[in-house]
Amino acid sequence: MNPRYLLLALVLILGLAPLALPPYYVTLLNYIGLYALVVLGLVLLTGVGGMTSFGQAAFVGLGAYTSAYLTTAEQLPAWLAWAGSSPWLSLLVGVILTASVALLLGALTLKLSGHYLPLGTIAWGLSLYYLFGTLESLGGHTGVSGLPSISLFGLLLDKGEKIFYLIWVILLVAIVITQNLLNSREGRAIRALKGGQLMAESMGVNTFRSKMVIFVISAVFAAISGWLYAHTQRFVNPTPFGLNMGIDYLFMALIGGVSSVWGALLGAGILTMLKQWLQDLLPHLLGNTGNYETIVFGVLIVLLMQRAPGGLWPMLVGWLPARWKMRRAAPAVDLNAAALPRRELPAHGQKILEALHVTKRFGGLVANNDMSLAVHSGEILALIGPNGAGKSTLFNQLSGVDTPTSGDVLFMGRKVNGLSSRQVAHMGLSRTFQHVKLLPEMSVLENVAIGAHLRGRQGVMAAALHLERREEAELLNEARRQLERVGLGDCLYEQAGSLALGQQRILEIARALCADPCLLLLDEPAAGLRLKEKEALGVLLSRLRSEGMAILLVEHDMDFVMGLVDRVVVMEFGQRIAQGLPEDVQKDPAVLEAYLGGVE
């Protein structure tokens, strides 16, 4: 059974609904569609991107008021006169205006972290609401009336059961576009925003841009919903665009399932129906009128969040028979997809990375003191030393995650201290992390494909329309190839979080290789691996070395290190205490004393 049939059935039922249902229910369905469009944007923003917004209702208002003003104003400025002639033209203006406002607000607020971002959205949500109410030309709190109906191919959509089709077609298209986008290279970058920003930046993802993309998309969805609303009601006033509605939209997302696209529809449907139903029922039960539905509603939300914190949609999916769910698995790999072009590796023995007198202070603590080292192509260099010696700190400075207090880091002769990890990734450095950083809910394949982010070119539009399928197939095929190379070819479609910790570390190596780097920084790659796995890793790293890759690794397994690497640098208390060939370093009394032990 294919879920596509379910979608087909849904479309069919929707198509017949206005013919079969009384007008009251058609109106309700219209509202559900309008709300769902806004909530869809919120799913993208909050559920997928991890940015909570209370301000979506303001964007709805922006779309509604722009169109209301343009289509009803008696005298428009000459340069704008064209926009008043049809709701479709005013939609265009509304979308452009909303996108611009979103860009501006995004630039101001998206850098905020933690609870400051939601607070920021409340702030501009309130501001826009009061703006609508205060501006004389927008009718103040009385609002604007007499809006024209939308006409489509000469058909005037002046009744609920007519505009119904427009609303639901737009909603379904928006759902498909959103799903397409999430299921692409740009989509993986967006999905990495929640909990994987440091990792994504190290793979070359511009996380701020990804945030901005979903912020603008969610604002535009809201604006289109507002436009539809305005021309369905043919009247607007500020009330439905206030903070209360902004909170209701969030509720809908929570009820339906904040991270599932179809949850938006479910949440909007349930909240709308429930409100109507409670409003009718409660006065009968309690014997007098009042806003009891809000109280009952609050209780229901609390109960729901306890029973199904992920929302209702994931719960429904959980009840589906397993064979249906098989089809929901991550996109399959096309084995015939062309190989991606590769970077030309520098000549053997060339100096790739050099740290010169790098010092890093955290307040009074000197984590790295005058550290110097160099890595050449076709060489494996090990950095060893006791826990807390400053190895990971040095790694962070080499890879652009952190900036040295003094000293320089040169990559292929270019100074890179001060550059971001994204820029360093661009130049050909790829790394793994001491504490595994992956997206546990995403498939193994998609996690690794994030590593190939910089090897794709296609943008958000192409992804939304799925015009980038060839490139996408190439990226996924590359991810598969790297996974097979590291020995994880059997678990492409498993959730990354379900792998054992040692396998997750290997996954990180595949992800790093997917970037086609010329320098690999591996932070404890063999930790938690067993003998055979270590042997396989050793073989892989040797092969990469012979291909001309430069590798710098931190590792505590001395049997693994001493049998594999070309040179060793030993650190203690932030400084270098020894360096040289493995056999020499192992005999060095200072190293034995500080690290290896063996002198009693």
Partner 1 sequence: MSSAMINTAMAVPAAPNVQPRNLVSDAVLEIRDLSVAYGKVEALSNASLSVGKGQIVTVIGPNGAGKTTLLSAIMGVLGSRGQVHFDGSLEGLPEVEVMVARGLGLVPEKRELFTSMSVADNLLLGAFQRHRRGERDYSATLKEVYDLFPRLWERREQLAATLSGGERQMLAVGRALMAKPKLLMLDEPSLGLAPLITREIFRIISALREQGVSILLVEQNARAALRVADYAYVLETGQIAMQGPAKQLADDPRVIEAYLGLASKHQEMLAT
Residues 500, 539, 581, 590: which binds partner 1 (CB under 8 A)?
Answer: 500
3/497 with CB nearer partner 1: 497
Which of positions 537-566 make contact with partner 1 (CB under 8 A)?
556-559, 562-563
Which of positions 374-403 make contact with partner 1 (CB under 8 A)?
384-388
Q: Which of 81, 271, 184 is nearest to 458 (CA)?
A: 184
Residue 531 interacts with partner 1 (CB under 8 A): yes or no: yes
386/459 with CB nearer partner 1: 386
- Per-residue contact string for residues 443-482; x = within reach of partner 1 by CB under 8 A: ----------------------------------------
Q: How far is the CB of 445 from partner 1 (least distance, A)?
A: 17
Q: How far is the CB of 503 from partner 1 (least distance, A)?
A: 5
Which amino acid is present at 159?
A: K
Q: How far is the CB of 435 from partner 1 (least distance, A)?
A: 8
DSSP, collapsed to helix, strand or coil, labels residue 492 as coil
Which of positions 28-87 make contact with partner 1 (CB under 8 A)?
none
75/387 with CB nearer partner 1: 387
330/558 with CB nearer partner 1: 558
Q: Which of 455, 451, 47 is nearest to 214 (CA)?
A: 47
Residue 317 interacts with partner 1 (CB under 8 A): yes or no: no
Contact in structure between 149 and 158 (CB atoms under 8 Å): yes
DSSP, collapsed to helix, strand or coil, labels residue 105 as helix
Query: Could you say which DSSP state residue 309 is in?
Result: T
Which of positions 509-528 make contact with partner 1 (CB under 8 A)?
524, 527-528
Residue 596 interacts with partner 1 (CB under 8 A): yes or no: yes
Q: How far is CA 426 from CA 84, 96, 185, 519, in A?
A: 47, 33, 16, 11
Enumerate residues 6+ apart whose C-beta is below 8 A from 514: 448, 449, 450, 451, 452, 455, 478, 479, 482
347/500 with CB nearer partner 1: 500
Give the integer Cα–Cα distance in Å for 438 and 396.
17
Dihedral of alpha carbons 338, 339, 343, 344, sign: negative
Element holding 116 (H helix, E strand):
helix 116-134
161/533 with CB nearer partner 1: 533
Residues 252, 529, 569, 577: which binds partner 1 (CB under 8 A)?
Answer: 529
262-299 in b/e form (b: 16+ CB < 10 A) is bbbbbbbbbbbeebeebeeebeeeeeeeeebbeeebee
Residue 584 interacts with partner 1 (CB under 8 A): yes or no: no
146/598 with CB nearer partner 1: 598
Q: For residue 236, what are the β-bridge partners?
A: 144
Give the integer Cα–Cα distance in Å for 487 and 485.
5
Residue 498 interacts with partner 1 (CB under 8 A): yes or no: yes
276/575 with CB nearer partner 1: 575
72/432 with CB nearer partner 1: 432
Stretch binding partner 1 (CB under 8 A), from 68-76, 251-259, 269-277, 499-507: 499-507
Q: How far is the CB of 598 from partner 1 (least distance, A)?
A: 6
4/532 with CB nearer partner 1: 532
Contact in structure between 554 and 434 (CB atoms under 8 Å): yes
Q: Which of 208, 162, 146 is nearest to 27 (CA)?
A: 162
Stretch binding partner 1 (CB under 8 A), from 107-115, 129-137, 335-343, 498-506: 498-506
DSSP, collapsed to helix, strand or coil, labels residue 576 as strand
Give the integer Cα–Cα distance in Å for 474 and 476.
6
How many residues bind partner 1 (CB under 8 A)? The answer is: 33
DSSP, collapsed to helix, strand or coil, labels residue 70 as helix
Give the strands of the sheet with 519-523, arranged side by side.
429-431, 519-523, 550-554, 379-384, 567-572, 575-580
Stretch binding partner 1 (CB under 8 A), from 61-69, 107-115, 238-246, 496-504: 496-504
274/491 with CB nearer partner 1: 491
- Per-residue contact string for residues 334-373; x = within reach of partner 1 by CB under 8 A: ----------------------------------------
Residue 503 interacts with partner 1 (CB under 8 A): yes or no: yes
507/519 with CB nearer partner 1: 507
Q: How far is the CB of 360 from partner 1 (least distance, A)?
A: 16
Q: How far is the CB of 596 from partner 1 (least distance, A)?
A: 6
In sequence order, what DSSP letters do the residues of 4-54 get, joined into one string?
Answer: HHHHHHHHHHHHHHHHHS-HHHHHHHHHHHHHHHHHHHHIIIIIIT----S
130/362 with CB nearer partner 1: 362
Residue where the block lists tokens 């704008």: 80
Give the integer Cα–Cα distance in Å for 27 and 13.
16
Stretch binding partner 1 (CB under 8 A), from 17-25, 49-57, 493-501, 545-553: 493-501
Contact in structure between 445 and 503 (CB atoms under 8 Å): no
Residue 222 interacts with partner 1 (CB under 8 A): yes or no: no
Residues 434, 441, 576, 580: which binds partner 1 (CB under 8 A)?
Answer: 434
* Binding footprint of partner 1 on the chain (CB under 8 A): 322, 384-388, 434, 498-503, 524, 527-533, 535, 556-559, 562-563, 594-598
